[in-house]
Structure 1
Amino acid sequence: MAYLEHRQTSLNKAGNYAKDKGFCLDEVINRIAHWLPTQGPLKDFIHHNTLHAVQHYPFHEGIAVAAKIFGARSYLALEDYQELYRQGRIGNNALDWAIAKFGSDQNPAQLRLDLFEADDRCHYPPLSLANHGLRSSWLTQLEIDLNAMVHPILFRLLANFLDQGISRWSLPKDGESFWNCVARLTQNSLVPLYPFNEPAARQLLNNTPDQVILSCLDKIVGQERYYEQYLLEILLAHPGWSGMVRMIELNPESLLTKRDISLQQLLAVELVCELACLNQKKARHWQNLSSVLSLDKIPLLADIVADPDVPVRLKIWHEAMEWALHAELLKALQTKPEASVTQEKTQPAVQALFCIDDRECSLRRYLEEISPAVETFGAAGFFGIDFLYQGIDDAYPVAQCPVAITPKHLIKESSLHQQPKNKSKSAPMPDLHFTPHSLLRGWLYTQTLGLGYAVRMAWSVFNPGSRLPNIRSLSELDSHSHLHLLRESDQTDEQGHLLGFTFSEMADRVGGLLRNIGLTQHYSPLVMVVAHGSSSVNNPHFAAYDCGACAGKPGAPNARAFAWMANHPSVRSILSERGLSIPDSTRFIAAMHNTSRDEITYFDLPDKGKPSVPGLHAFQQIMSKALQRNARERCRWFELGPKTPDNQIAHEHVIARASSIFEPRPELNHSNNLYCIVGRRSLTRDLFLDRRAFLHSYDPDSDAQGDVLVKIMSAIIPVCGGINLEYLFSRIDNSVYGAGTKLPHNVIGLLGVANGVEGDLRTGLPSQMIEVHEPARLLIVVEQSCEVIDQTLANLGELKEWLDNEWVRLVACHPVNRTLFRYSAEGWEAIDLESQKDVPEAVHSEPIIAGKTATIPVHRLIRRHA
């Protein structure tokens, strides 16, 4: 019954509407929009499941459907899996496990032989709607390349209409819609606007978009039953622009300068353009598709979604690869460290809260290696404080919380010092435009100042410095400013936001986070709250390098807010009444880790003349050493990175990379992310995880009902799962699901990037971010009993779909005996790791990474020292 319900849901989402219902344009557009990317403008680049459209399927069926829709590969090439087997990354035990579990009723011995056969067609994309549907017939059978004729015109119109600041001249008038703008240009332009000046097209522009769509479909397609698929194929021919238009239609606030545009308007303009091109190409002597083609032989959307075709060999290889990688961690977790090498429980000198980001995994390890007196914790990088933030120079507020949360509070930043009336020459430029706007003045400035800037750019290419260009980065925050956190009245602003928090609201957030991570007692004198962000020059996808839990923004405002709230006596008094006592001697200090440069900025330190914070200076020295070691570990991935054991040289190299205008890889960001571990630090403190793990602190003993775990899972599934899946699919097929190489990318209207000046907006991640990534699904390990996790899953709502359909994997690690159980929609299954190789050991991290240029298996650290 569940299988039939799943199939019916798939058909409904595909648009298998009843024939007697007729063609309803609004419903059709809502259905086909389901297949479009949900990637917002560059400023809001947030990781998400690339294939959200098929997330209601089990993983392998979903990617099979997506392959037939988008024309993408679903797995690595067969020869790539075979090479991993030859290298020993996929062992015989993993292969046997996958064959037994997913080999269905096939003969295991024969199936194993089939896995090693050659596949000379693996590089060919599958037949798909995007490439072999109705519209492809114009090219393959009627020799008319509609895409080549229509797209350059359409993309120029979209880029100019939606432009967010690159152009000084605005194409639309105030409040003018995209449809009306095109009609106005056609009617009023002194130069004929090709191809809309064609008589039939010009006449159509006098009608409404919905009337135009139906009229054009009748002329171009003919049969109503193919209308929906034809409209979908139009959008799939340029998914970047289609998805962007849909995002703007649903969320106009995503643009700084709002624009009136919709999928209906986009489809109307494109269909008019198609019709005009066909009339001019064939001199009006042409027939619609239904009249000249055998449409019954064309792949149809309803057939694709109803019967996914999963390639068994590739499925088994991929499952074997993932199991081999996951088992490395599971074996290490199951093996308890010997009592002689386990850290004794002592009062920590410093406690440090980090984001769960996988890039902080290695930094935490180095801090603890250098000083066992440092205790680290992990939490989602917005630190439980959701708000809109507007900096001193920001034109608009931005959300500093996961996208699933709608913040109700607004926090503004102000300077501690009076700004001078006359800005110095070294002050950051407010924008990238000069004052003169006339054509003549612009030309003169280009011919004079342009030469000087060209020389300066050439010098920067061949001699990159350690400093960023003199433009304020969105990833940097003034360490000497003031945040208005305390709400003085309940009056809201024009948008309905509350200006600040009450002390009670502050206590809710501070206490909630401390309880979530299990930090409710034994406070050290110094508690660091370390956010993260990233700064680089050659990187239009800058938001993808910042904090995913802060909606793609740096987490510094959240760290500063948390530290201020946790230090305030009124907040501590309320927390004490609620059973959470923070000693008066404990001080919270905020900081931000720049992950590309491996530098740290400290915020709101005591002024000169005031008592210093105990332990702060010592921590700063430890952090300095840890950042240098972290930089060296990162350098092993960079082809031109230094291979020296000198940590200082490695640190200088990563700073230069982030400052270099010609460097497309300032950092590899989340490459090779694979694990998410929710539990006490004792579970992972003695493990080398190769910067592959999201680490969220959690005390299973204080969460008998799973209420805390619900909050944690609600954050890590969409955030960590979204990061993992976007990397996975961008690596599997970078030409379809990813953005391709950065090198030919141009920023279009501050919306996205395209190849050249007239291409489609590229979605997903560029190849420079994923080329070393091993594409395996995220393994979430929770230190809790299966019974408590079951209570948590019952309260996850729609997020449970990620687990039931195995878009991410879930394993329970019992908090007492560390027995492991694997979750599936059918229930829990005990994990047998007897045949798994022993976990390799090392004294500390640096010998492990020496000379290594590929992913490293999980190691156990048997001793720690500075």
Structure 2
Amino acid sequence: MTLERATLEDSIDRAAETVGSVWPLHSFVTANPLAGFEDRPFHRAVAEAEQLFGGRGYPRPSAFRRAWEDGRIDPDVLADELHAHGVSGDPETLLDEMAAAESEHETEPDTATERVDRVLSKWLAAFLDQGQAEWPMPGRERGFYAAWRDLAPYDDEIPGCDDTSDLPESPVEALETVLSDCPEGRWEEIFEHHLAALPGWTGFIKQRADGHAGPWQDACPISLLEYLAVRLTLADLLDAPVEPDENEHRDAEPDGDVPLPEIWLTAWEKSYRARLLDGIDESVTEPSAGDGDRPAAQLVFCIDTRSEVIRRHVEAAGPYETHGYAGFFGVPMRYEGYDSEVEIDACPPIVDPQHRIADRPEHDHGDDRETHDRWTQVASAARKHLKSLKTNVAAAFTFVEGGGSAYGAAMAARTLVPSAVADLSDAVDDRVPSPGEFCEPTVDRRGEADGDALPHGMTLEEKVSYAETAFDLMGWEEFARLVVFAGHASETANNPFDSSLDCGACAGNPGGPNARVLAAICNDDEVKSALRERGFDIPADTVFLAGEHNTTTDEIALFDGHVPESHREDLDRLREDLEDARAGAAAERAESMRGTDPDEAVRDTKRRTADWAETRPEWGLAGNASFVIGPRELTDDRDLDGRAFLHSYDWTTDPDGEALEAIMTGPLVVTQWINNQYYFATVDNAVYGSGSKVTQNPRGNVGVVQGNGGDLMTGLPLQSLMLDDDRPYHQPLRLTAVIHAPVERVNDILARNEEVATLLDNGWISLTVVNPEQDNDAFHYQGDLEWEPALATPLAH
């Protein structure tokens, strides 16, 4: 690589920092679309992002008015915020002023630039296709620019390009040709402008080029350098402006000038925080003391907000204890399912996988394996044959004549009686064993890794470390006879965004495999022995098992193949109680799902899994607003309405703060991503979301576009956020974090971790510490490692 190219790529990388990475749909990862602006105060970040992307950064005045009229914004809190910023006027007048000041700020689009976007999007969709196209774009193995350069002369939409020789030979030469008349000092600004023009495709290329795409990037390499070379060449050929308008890069509002919408937003958030703190059990200062009663079972759920609902109903169903832990269960792995042709990274995007784990069948379950294989082979052959008939030009008409009636009947059933389809699917599932019933994850180390390849399995010391970390972070000192690690997954039909409903901590994949790995680790006799030596008093009768919470139906499946007969009675009772919990949770969630009778909630949630016309199978994490880090006793008598992430933590078992530091630098950062994905997709879905599912079209197994082309959409669809066209279900609030720990401990962690402190100082997260060393008095973080005591009397509901 020449120095010139390296310098150019460095400039492009800096220009791309403001565009967030975009993951493919099959592993959709919720992330802050303004992640590149987190080093700036929130109000300045949204102002700069509006100039760059054209998206609004605050809820509309109508949303503030609705929150005000519904009582979600406390009048006293709002008055204090307005006074603190020197704003006078009554709320109604201010709301009217905001509504009057609301303007479109839209400029007439440049038609030449629109043509560039349209043509470029077409070529990107063809090149980045991941197996959907029957006729893939030729020459992709040579890279994006080379493949495009070979085929561009055949595109009638590109003028002045009759032969390959009309185009520069390399992407570096292409950029130099187009930018030859531009001062080199402006290049980075030009790059940022063009990268932001199609932030969806740019973000996806950025994610691929960062090394997260595996074999697709190896087979069809693409870089931001090549992308810009093609884009700027097209701009030159189509007479579109290369340099941005100077007005697009005017200075944003100064840091101290907080706009009126942010004042209202902060008042709304503080009102929510006051209600949240009002439900904190102030008597819980030393949770590790416990009440001395051994629970019938302990269930560890993901910190996901949907787990808050099912946890309440599990606790109400029997003498059970529930805990919260990041849903990949602390095991950073690359996972290969039994009958899967691909491997997936089952860990958060900020964590690199460290082990390769595969499902392998056990010898004593041979019959189950044979039954599963027979059914899978038949179903796979049928799908493959059906696809070939539908896409083969020669066979299409005969397929309609010969199989149209049967295919039409199946379509009619899915449309008219989806509940019957769901029942049929359940019946098949009951008769056909799942891989989890006859396979075990290969957790033991097998040989040494070759070169940079991930090792298969893990060593004894690594297994002990993962178990120890889990128990440390949750503050465990006692164990029930049954301990269940429950991952979670969703179930839905005809939903391009199905992975957005799976486990975000598992990179948009189901969490069951991770739960099974941790259960296998903890059941290892050598691991148990080592843990006892490290102070974990695990009784001889404790059995660990895995489960998976279906967040669409609230059913919890248990993988209990290794549970001994001595525990069968416990297991049967747990199954019965989990069914009761499922019914209660489904009935509660039915109240938020239009057209659902709470008495028929279980039945209706099953229907939603099979109805291919269902645009809203579940709400996902809509409504999320807070992250509570502390013992379950703090909130176990409180209905948090499925709006809180809950991570177990016991400050008395973590004297040096290492466990809390791991939570604050890991799960807290990830929940901020999730929260801001929902926030921005709600306040401006056209820019930061993906519009209505009804008009979406999938592209290349990587994403969706609106209509028949254009930019790759980057966020959640309207149906995941809105009750209807005008009323959001998700309340767009920034994340409120509450930590049960001494203030000094939290302050020390912030002093050591600039990234987390920056998120707090710049207003992306608000933080309150409930200090157990001071009778659980609350202290609000003010920035720059300064704290302020909360009001002595919390606000009423």
TM-score, normalisation: structure 2: 0.90
Q: Structure 1 residues 515, 76: CA separation in 2 closer, same or farther (over 3 Å shift)?
A: same
Aligned-pair Cα RMSD in Å: 3.1
Which amino acid in structure 2 is aligned with residue 216 of structure 1?
V
CA-CA distance at 1:112 after TM superposition: 5.9
Match of 1:171 in 2: 137
What is the CA–CA distance in structure 2 between the aligned matches of 1:805 and 1:703, rounded to whole Å? 28
CA-CA distance at 1:470 after TM superposition: 7.4
Q: Structure 1 residues 278, 455: CA separation in 2 closer, same or farther (over 3 Å shift)?
A: farther
Which amino acid in structure 2 is aligned with residue 264 of structure 1?
L
What is the CA deviation profile of residues 552-587 of structure 1, one whole-angstrom value per residue up to 9, with x for unaligned ones? Answer: 111111111111211221111111122222111111
Contact persistence 2:125–2:699 (CA under 8 A): yes
Contact persistence 1:510–1:565 (CA under 8 A): yes
What is the CA–CA distance in structure 1 between the aligned matches of 2:242 and 2:346, rounded to whole Å? 50
CA-CA distance at 1:467 after TM superposition: 4.9
Which amino acid in structure 1 is aligned with residue 207 of structure 2?
M
The equivalent position to 2:697 in structure 1, one of 740, 743, 746, is 746
The equivalent position to 1:491 in structure 2, one of 448, 454, 465, is 448
What is the CA–CA distance in structure 2 between the aligned matches of 1:422 and 1:385, rounded to whole Å? 29
Q: Structure 1 residues 561, 153: CA separation in 2 closer, same or farther (over 3 Å shift)?
A: same
What is the CA–CA distance in structure 2 between the aligned matches of 1:819 and 1:421, rounded to whole Å? 57
What is the CA deviation profile of residues 147-182 of structure 1, one whole-angstrom value per residue up to 9, with x for unaligned ones? Answer: 342333322221111111111222133622112212
CA-CA distance at 1:289 after TM superposition: 7.9
Identity %: 28
Contact persistence 1:388–1:410 (CA under 8 A): yes
CA-CA distance at 1:227 after TM superposition: 4.5
What is the CA–CA distance in structure 1 between the aligned matches of 2:137 and 2:398, rounded to whole Å? 24
1:417-566 to 2 correspondence within 5 Å? 417=366, 419=370, 423-424=374-375, 427-429=378-380, 434=387, 439-442=393-396, 444-445=398-399, 448-449=402-403, 452-465=406-419, 467=421, 478-493=435-450, 496-521=453-478, 523-566=479-522
1:273-672 to 2 correspondence within 5 Å? 273-278=234-239, 298-301=246-249, 303-304=250-251, 307=254, 312-333=259-280, 336=283, 345-371=292-318, 373-416=319-362, 417=366, 419=370, 423-424=374-375, 427-429=378-380, 434=387, 439-442=393-396, 444-445=398-399, 448-449=402-403, 452-465=406-419, 467=421, 478-493=435-450, 496-521=453-478, 523-606=479-562, 610-642=565-597, 644=598, 646=599, 649-672=600-623
TM-score, normalisation: structure 1: 0.83
What is the CA–CA distance in structure 2 between the aligned matches of 1:690 and 1:488, rounded to whole Å? 43
CA-CA distance at 1:86 after TM superposition: 2.3
How many equivalent pairs are there? 770
Q: Structure 1 residues 405, 439: CA separation in 2 closer, same or farther (over 3 Å shift)?
A: same
CA-CA distance at 1:311 after TM superposition: 5.5
Helix, strand or coil: the match of 2:678? helix
Q: Structure 1 residues 420, 528: CA separation in 2 closer, same or farther (over 3 Å shift)?
A: closer
What is the CA–CA distance in structure 2 between the aligned matches of 1:390 and 1:537, rounded to whole Å? 23
Helix, strand or coil: the match of 2:436? coil
Helix, strand or coil: the match of 2:97? coil
Helix, strand or coil: the match of 1:412? strand
Helix, strand or coil: the match of 2:138? coil
Which amino acid in structure 1 is aligned with residue 581 of structure 2?
A
Contact persistence 2:338–2:439 (CA under 8 A): no
Contact persistence 1:361–1:695 (CA under 8 A): yes
What is the CA–CA distance in structure 1 between the aligned matches of 2:451 and 2:7, rounded to whole Å? 37
1:240 aligns with 2:200: yes
1:52-91 to 2 correspondence within 5 Å? 52-91=35-74
Match of 2:783 in 1: 825
What is the CA–CA distance in structure 2 between the aligned matches of 1:600 and 1:561, rounded to whole Å? 17
Match of 2:227 in 1: 266
The equivalent position to 1:162 in structure 2, one of 128, 132, 138, is 128
The equivalent position to 1:787 in structure 2, one of 718, 739, 744, is 744
What is the CA deviation profile of residues 47-91 of structure 1, one whole-angstrom value per residue up to 9, with x for unaligned ones? Answer: 111111110011222112212221111211223313322222212
Q: Structure 1 residues 324, 252: CA separation in 2 closer, same or farther (over 3 Å shift)?
A: closer
Match of 1:13 in 2: none
Structure 2 unaligned segments of length 5 or more: list them: 723-728
Which amino acid in structure 1 is aligned with residue 733 of structure 2?
A
What is the CA–CA distance in structure 2 between the aligned matches of 1:594 and 1:582, rounded to whole Å? 29
Match of 1:216 in 2: 178
1:50 aligns with 2:33: yes
What is the CA–CA distance in structure 1 between the aligned matches of 2:260 and 2:373, rounded to whole Å? 69
1:66-145 to 2 correspondence within 5 Å? 66-101=49-84, 103=85, 106=86, 108-110=87-89, 115-121=94-100, 123-126=102-105, 139=110, 145=111
CA-CA distance at 1:223 after TM superposition: 5.8
CA-CA distance at 1:766 after TM superposition: 0.7
CA-CA distance at 1:300 after TM superposition: 4.5
What is the CA–CA distance in structure 1 between the aligned matches of 2:105 and 2:416, rounded to whole Å? 44
Contact persistence 1:400–1:550 (CA under 8 A): yes
Which amino acid in structure 1 is aligned with residue 268 of structure 2?
M
CA-CA distance at 1:633 after TM superposition: 0.8
What is the CA deviation profile of residues 263-291 of structure 1, one whole-angstrom value per residue up to 9, with x for unaligned ones? Answer: 22222223333333339xxxxxxxx789x
1:811-822 to 2 correspondence within 5 Å? 811-816=768-773, 817-822=775-780
What is the CA–CA distance in structure 2 between the aligned matches of 1:351 and 1:768, rounded to whole Å? 35
What is the CA–CA distance in structure 2 between the aligned matches of 1:169 and 1:109, rounded to whole Å? 64
Contact persistence 1:632–1:650 (CA under 8 A): yes
What is the CA deviation profile of residues 119-169 of structure 1, one whole-angstrom value per residue up to 9, with x for unaligned ones? Answer: 445553446xxx67xxx5xx3xxxxx1134233332222111111111122
1:758-773 to 2 correspondence within 5 Å? 758-771=709-722, 772-773=729-730
What is the CA–CA distance in structure 1 between the aligned matches of 2:35 and 2:376, rounded to whole Å? 48
What is the CA–CA distance in structure 1 between the aligned matches of 2:157 and 2:640, rounded to whole Å? 58
CA-CA distance at 1:410 after TM superposition: 0.8
Helix, strand or coil: the match of 1:663? coil
The equivalent position to 1:185 in structure 2, one of 128, 145, 151, is 151
Q: Structure 1 residues 248, 125: CA separation in 2 closer, same or farther (over 3 Å shift)?
A: farther
What is the CA deviation profile of residues 197-252 of structure 1, one whole-angstrom value per residue up to 9, with x for unaligned ones? Answer: 62488544242222222322457xx5666544444333323211122122222226
Q: Structure 1 residues 499, 466: CA separation in 2 closer, same or farther (over 3 Å shift)?
A: farther
Q: Structure 1 residues 422, 615: CA separation in 2 closer, same or farther (over 3 Å shift)?
A: closer
Which amino acid in structure 2 is aligned with residue 195 of structure 1?
E
CA-CA distance at 1:625 after TM superposition: 0.4
Q: Structure 1 residues 555, 438: CA separation in 2 closer, same or farther (over 3 Å shift)?
A: closer
Helix, strand or coil: the match of 2:412? helix
Helix, strand or coil: the match of 1:823? strand
Which amino acid in structure 1 is aligned with residue 634 of structure 2?
L
Contact persistence 2:443–2:517 (CA under 8 A): no
What is the CA deviation profile of residues 295-347 of structure 1, one whole-angstrom value per residue up to 9, with x for unaligned ones? Answer: 9x83143x435846956221211111111111101122165599xxx995522
CA-CA distance at 1:731 after TM superposition: 0.7
Which amino acid in structure 1 is aligned with residue 787 of structure 2?
E
What is the CA–CA distance in structure 1 between the aligned matches of 2:281 and 2:445, rounded to whole Å? 52
Q: Structure 1 residues 508, 228: CA separation in 2 closer, same or farther (over 3 Å shift)?
A: closer
The equivalent position to 2:630 in structure 1, one of 671, 679, 682, is 679
Contact persistence 2:54–2:687 (CA under 8 A): yes
